[in-house]
């Protein structure tokens, strides 16, 4: 391998460092207007009247729109999701922040001023903010057509859980609760949308799902899909959030149309990010687990309640994933899951790196240590004993091919000096804790196309252009795609360019969610490059008077195997292919479609082409007085298959782990009677560079049969185990068990006090 597996720097670093990268907020267009959104000041209410006349009369205002100006189309993420949202409130507002009206003006100040001039009359309705409360009969209904406030419910039963509990040596039952957290990307939601005089809508959106956003925007505007074009500028992070349609996209489109076809830019403020975007869902998770005397898992029953907020967005799919994923880290024959997604009068939720996994892993892996402790088994041994292994078919039907989990557990155990540090902490208030996780590589939710398409062109000077609709938003796809194409074609990495997504130009692609990008996008690039190589070698064979199958290429030259003096430059062959009689550009196409299955009536499926694994050990020191938990180190071992670029892979693990640390220890989007007291980076507990402990990153030696060059997804492995690993380490250090996230100092202090006053047993909070 000449470029695969090497530590090449990420491609977009130079533009970002030089400041030449143009994000949505940098876009300027002739005649462009600035849009602002008027949001609901109350949590739940009926819209009685809206008077925009004073706003319209303000000099500089070019358009004002309300629910009357839009087509009454209820849109949503589609597929198994529930469509429940208008672009602007028509009848009701359902959370404090719901969109009521919008203004486009010649500058932002004028637009802001105009918002104050819009008079809205609302009839306030009772609101509900808590998922448990929303399930109580007689609770206020967020959507009249969703009785009991239930968005979606699953009841999945595998094996015979009741019998297994009866047979079990011991059964454990715990309740865990997790909080909302924001993805904390640096670039807020934003768009520039131009509804041109000929009916075509062009939208510059820093999304991570360009083709999907196009479909949803066309849906919301009631336009044929090719009347909508989505162009991806540079993107300042998303981490799962920007995968669905944000209301400002159709709002900007309607404003653009009403303002006489001027482009309209709307950029979220940081406060809007906290009031009206899509943070990670908060959950209440009841886990009941039965084991044999020698520590084998027999059965698990889970009751899960997720708080969707006012609109369902991607939450239903996430619920499905949460029902399945974590049951495959270990061998467990009987499982039952009763899961409910519930509407409340809060803003919606969305995907965030891990997609339900951090919540479930926190619950399962915390309980795992309680069980190990109770059974007197070392938690590492307990995990190794039950760990899923290559060739397993899990309870839900997942076919595990490559699996580095046992290796990962042993690695973090050894590298963290587990045996030395474990169980000795209670005197010095130091401890170590372990947790593991499984993650998807792609995830099939429906039978249609969930693969990826790519084209690879070889131009006349040997330059290779990779065309994929899969977007770059900082995660490194352009670098990886270039490496794959360079490796297949035998050309230097510098000679490969990767284009930016533009739905009018680049092929249909699902986008980088579900850790699918390297596997699915990368395989499509690999296949397209192989197709291009075939065409290239045919021309080269003619020139070299050899057979195409006898050729190979390296460092930009094609030569006859075994006789290196018979060679031709890639550039020369590509040039000959184009400029010869009847010539055409070398253009390879690749279509990847994983041979996976989606949930059948028995809730069985094999949704992923590859499964990734990770194990982590956290080492902590707890200040018994203040409850402060200091993370001394995080040891990670990650099975991401064969690693295509060690620099990028390490960056993914470290970045993701840091988000896991924030989730575990400090971050919390608080709600008090629906109100948000801490809507900012400063107040919400986002960790900064000083909060990063030494992070030890290890990759297992795994080679996956499906992914390109043996790779699997790894960008979501860093976060899920952190919270449980830290909670387990706290237990190891000071002997208390925390079951509510974040693992904040006041909670530590509280359980330590409870413990010191209790007659026996560990405190819980």
Give the residues lining the site for a second copy (CB under 8 A). 14-15, 18, 20, 26, 28, 30, 196-198, 224-227, 261, 447-449, 451, 453, 459-463, 465, 497, 499, 504-505, 507-508, 578-585, 587, 589, 591, 593
CB of 78 to a second copy, least distance (A): 12
Q: What is the DSSP string of 481-522?
A: HHHHHHHHHT--GGGEEEPPPBTTTSPPB--S-TT-IIIIIH
Distance CA 744, CA 726 (A): 11
Q: How far is the CB of 69 from a second copy (least distance, A)?
A: 23
Residue 190 CB, nearest distance to a second copy (Å)? 17
Closest distance to a second copy from the beta carbon of 580 (Å) = 6
Q: 502 φ, ψ to 5°?
A: -155, 110
Q: Is residue 86 within 8 Å of 70, Cβ to Cβ?
A: yes
In whole angstroms, give the CA distance from residue 364 to residue 362: 6
Minimum CB–partner distance for residue 696 and a second copy (Å): 35
**Shortest reach from residue 462's CB to a second copy, in Å:** 8
Helix (H) or strand (E) holding 113: helix 108-116
Shortest Cβ 232–a second copy spacing (Å): 15
Upstream peptide bond of 742 is cis (omega within 30 degrees of 0): yes
Q: Name all contacts of 604-608 with Cβ < 8 Å and 24+ positions apart.
A: 604/396, 604/397, 605/324, 605/396, 605/397, 605/398, 605/444, 606/397, 606/398, 606/399, 607/324, 607/398, 607/440, 607/442, 607/443, 607/444, 607/445, 608/398, 608/440, 608/441, 608/442, 608/443, 608/444
State in angstroms the smallest separation of the CB of 584 from a second copy: 4
Shortest distance (Å) from residue 564 CB to a second copy: 25
The pairing of beta strand 297-309 with beta strand 282-291:
antiparallel
Closer residue to a second copy, CB minimum distance, 392 or 592 = 592
Cα→Cα distances 447→300, 322, 450, 464, 595, Å? 29, 20, 8, 33, 10
Least distance to a second copy, CB of residue 82, Å: 21
Least distance (Å) between residue 206 CB and a second copy: 18
How many H helices and E strands in the chain? Answer: 21, 26
Q: Which is nearer to a second copy, 409 or 465 (CB)?
A: 465
- CB of 399 or CB of 678, closer to a second copy: 399
Strand order of the β-sheet with 45-51 is 92-93, 45-51, 119-124
Work out how close the CB of 485 gets to a second copy at its nearest, in angstroms, rounded to a whole number.
Answer: 14
Nearer to a second copy, 462 or 655 (CB): 462
Angstrom distance (rounded) from CA 174 to CA 518: 37
Distance spanning both ends of the chain, measured CA to CA: 52
CB of 355 to a second copy, least distance (A): 23
| Nearest CB to a second copy, comparing residues 28 and 46 | 28
Taking the complex as a whole, how short is the minimal distance between the CB of residue 217 and a second copy, in angstroms?
A: 13
Residue 37's closest CA among 66, 59, 62? 66
Q: For the chain, give percent helix, strand, coil, nearest 5.
A: 35, 25, 40
Q: What is the dihedral of CA 443, 325, 235, 66, to 10 degrees?
A: 90
Beta bridge partners of 553: 558
Q: Which is nearer to a second copy, 125 or 578 (CB)?
A: 578
Nearer to a second copy, 417 or 505 (CB): 505
512 neighbors 521 (Cβ within 8 angstroms): yes
- Tell me whether residue 18 or residue 689 sits nearer to a second copy (CB atom): 18
Least distance from a second copy to the Cβ atom of residue 459, Å: 5
Q: Which is nearer to a second copy, 30 or 59 (CB)?
A: 30
Non-local CB neighbours of 649 within 8 Å, separated by 6+ positions: 638, 640, 643, 697, 699, 714
> Of 467 and 629, which has the nearer Cβ to a second copy?
467
User: Least separation, in Å, of the C-beta of 178 and a second copy?
Assistant: 35
Whole-angstrom Cα distance, residue 548 to residue 565? 16
Distances (CA, A) of 268 to 24, 51, 277, 697: 11, 24, 9, 35
Q: Which is nearer to a second copy, 584 or 625 (CB)?
A: 584
Handedness of CA 657, 661, 663, 668 (dihedral sign): negative
Which pair of structure tokens corresponds to residue 274?
């906290």
Strands (E), 623-722: 629-639, 695-699
Look at the chain and count its residues: 765
Could you tell me if 235 and 207 are in contact, meaning their C-beta atoms sit under 8 angstroms apart?
A: yes
Among residues 345 and 450, whose Cβ is nearest to a second copy? 450
Of 162 and 196, which has the nearer Cβ to a second copy? 196
Q: How many CA atoms lie within 13 Å of 35's alpha carbon, on the beta-carbon side?
A: 35
| Residue 469 CB, nearest approach to a second copy (Å) | 10
CA dist 52 and 34 (Å) reads 17
Of 448 and 694, nearer to a second copy (C-beta) is: 448
Given the complex with a second copy, which of 28 and 68 has the nearer CB atom? 28
Taking the least distance from each CB to a second copy, the nearer of 579 and 688 is 579
Tokens 């950029």 correspond to what residue?
A: 267
Residue ranges of the alpha helices (H) in 123-206?
A: 131-135, 161-167
Closer CB to a second copy, 326 or 478, in the complex? 478
From the number of C-beta atoms within 10 Å of its C-beta (0-12, 13-18, 19+), residue 448 rates as exposed
In angstroms, give the least distance from the CB of 271 to a second copy. Answer: 28
Nearer to a second copy, 351 or 571 (CB): 571
DSSP string computed for 395-436? TT--B--S--HHHHHHHHHHHTTHHHHTT-HHHHTEEEEEEE
3-state secondary structure of 262: coil
């Amino acid at each position: 391998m000449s470029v695969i597996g090497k530590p090449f720097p990420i491609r977009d670093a130079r533009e970002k460092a030089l400041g030449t990268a143009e994000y949505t907020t940098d876009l300027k267009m002739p005649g462009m207007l600035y849009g602002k959104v008027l949001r609901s000041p109350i949590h739940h209410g009926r819209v009685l009247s809206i008077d925009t006349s004073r706003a319209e009369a303000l000099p500089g205002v070019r358009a004002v729109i309300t629910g009357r100006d839009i087509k009454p189309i209820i849109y949503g993420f589609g597929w198994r999701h529930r469509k429940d949202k208008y672009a602007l409130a028509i009848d009701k507002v359902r959370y404090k922040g719901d969109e009521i009206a919008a203004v486009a003006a010649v500058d932002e100040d004028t637009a802001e001023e105009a918002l104050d001039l819009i008079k809205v009359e609302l009839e306030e309705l009772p609101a509900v903010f808590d998922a448990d409360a929303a399930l109580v009969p007689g609770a206020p209904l967020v959507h009249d057509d969703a009785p009991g406030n239930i968005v979606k419910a699953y009841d999945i039963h595998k094996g015979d859980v009741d019998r297994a509990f009866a047979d079990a040596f011991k059964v454990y039952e715990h309740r865990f609760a997790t909080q909302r957290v924001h993805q904390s990307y640096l670039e807020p939601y934003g768009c520039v949308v131009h509804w041109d005089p000929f009916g075509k809508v062009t939208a510059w959106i820093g999304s991570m799902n360009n083709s999907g956003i196009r479909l949803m925007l066309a849906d919301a505007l009631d336009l044929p899909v090719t009347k909508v074009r989505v162009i991806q500028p540079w993107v300042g992070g998303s981490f799962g959030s920007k995968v669905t349609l944000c209301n400002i996209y159709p709002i900007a489109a309607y404003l653009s149309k009403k303002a006489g076809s001027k482009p309209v830019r709307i950029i979220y403020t940081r406060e809007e990010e906290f009031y009206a975007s899509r943070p990670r869902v908060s959950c209440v998770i009841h886990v009941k687990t039965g084991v044999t005397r020698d520590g084998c898992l027999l059965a698990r029953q889970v009751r899960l309640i997720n708080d969707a907020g006012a609109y369902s967005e991607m939450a239903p799919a996430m619920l499905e994933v949460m029902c399945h994923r974590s049951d495959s880290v270990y061998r467990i024959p009987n499982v039952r899951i009763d899961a409910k997604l519930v509407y409340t009068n809060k803003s919606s939720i969305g995907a965030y790196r891990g997609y339900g996994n951090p919540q479930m892993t926190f619950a399962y892996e915390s309980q795992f240590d309680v069980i190990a402790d109770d059974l007197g088994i070392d938690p590492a041994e307990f995990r190794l004993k039950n760990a899923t292994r290559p060739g397993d078919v899990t309870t839900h039907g997942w076919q595990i091919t490559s699996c580095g989990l046992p290796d990962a557990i042993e690695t973090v155990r050894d590298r963290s000096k587990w045996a030395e540090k474990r169980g000795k902490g209670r005197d010095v208030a130091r401890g170590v804790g372990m947790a593991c996780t499984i993650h998807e590589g792609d995830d099939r939710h429906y039978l249609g196309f969930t693969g990826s398409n790519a084209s690879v062109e070889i131009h006349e000077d040997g330059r290779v252009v990779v065309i994929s609709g899969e977007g770059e938003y900082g995660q490194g796809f352009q670098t990886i795609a270039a490496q794959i194409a360079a490796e297949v074609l035998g050309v230097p990495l510098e000679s490969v360019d990767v284009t930016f997504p533009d739905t009018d130009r680049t092929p249909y692609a699902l986008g980088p969610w579900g850790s699918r990008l390297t596997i699915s996008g990368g395989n499509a690039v690999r296949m397209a490059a192989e197709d291009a190589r075939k065409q290239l070698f045919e021309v080269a064979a003619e020139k070299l008077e050899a057979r195409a199958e006898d050729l190979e290429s390296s460092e930009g030259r094609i030569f006859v195997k075994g006789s290196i003096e018979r060679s031709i430059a890639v550039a020369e062959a590509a040039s000959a292919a184009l400029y010869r009689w009847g010539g055409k550009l070398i253009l390879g196409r690749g279509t990847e479609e994983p041979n996976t299955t989606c949930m059948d009536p028995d809730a069985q499926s094999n949704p992923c082409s590859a499964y990734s694994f990770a194990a982590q050990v956290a080492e902590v020191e707890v200040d018994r007085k203040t409850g402060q938990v200091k993370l001394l180190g995080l040891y990670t071992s990650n099975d991401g298959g064969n690693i295509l670029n060690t620099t990028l892979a390490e960056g993914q693990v470290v970045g993701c782990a840091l988000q896991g640390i924030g989730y575990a220890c400090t971050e919390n989007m608080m709600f008090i009677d629906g109100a948000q007291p801490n809507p900012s980076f400063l107040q919400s507990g986002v960790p900064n560079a000083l909060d990063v402990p030494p992070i030890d990153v290890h990759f297992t030696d795994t080679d996956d049969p499906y992914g390109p060059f043996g790779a699997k997804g790894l960008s979501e492995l860093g976060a899920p185990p952190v919270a449980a690993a830290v909670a387990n380490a706290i237990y190891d250090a000071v002997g208390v068990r925390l079951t509510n996230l974040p693992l904040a100092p006041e909670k530590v202090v509280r359980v330590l006090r409870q413990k010191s006053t209790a007659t026996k047993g560990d405190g819980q909070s």
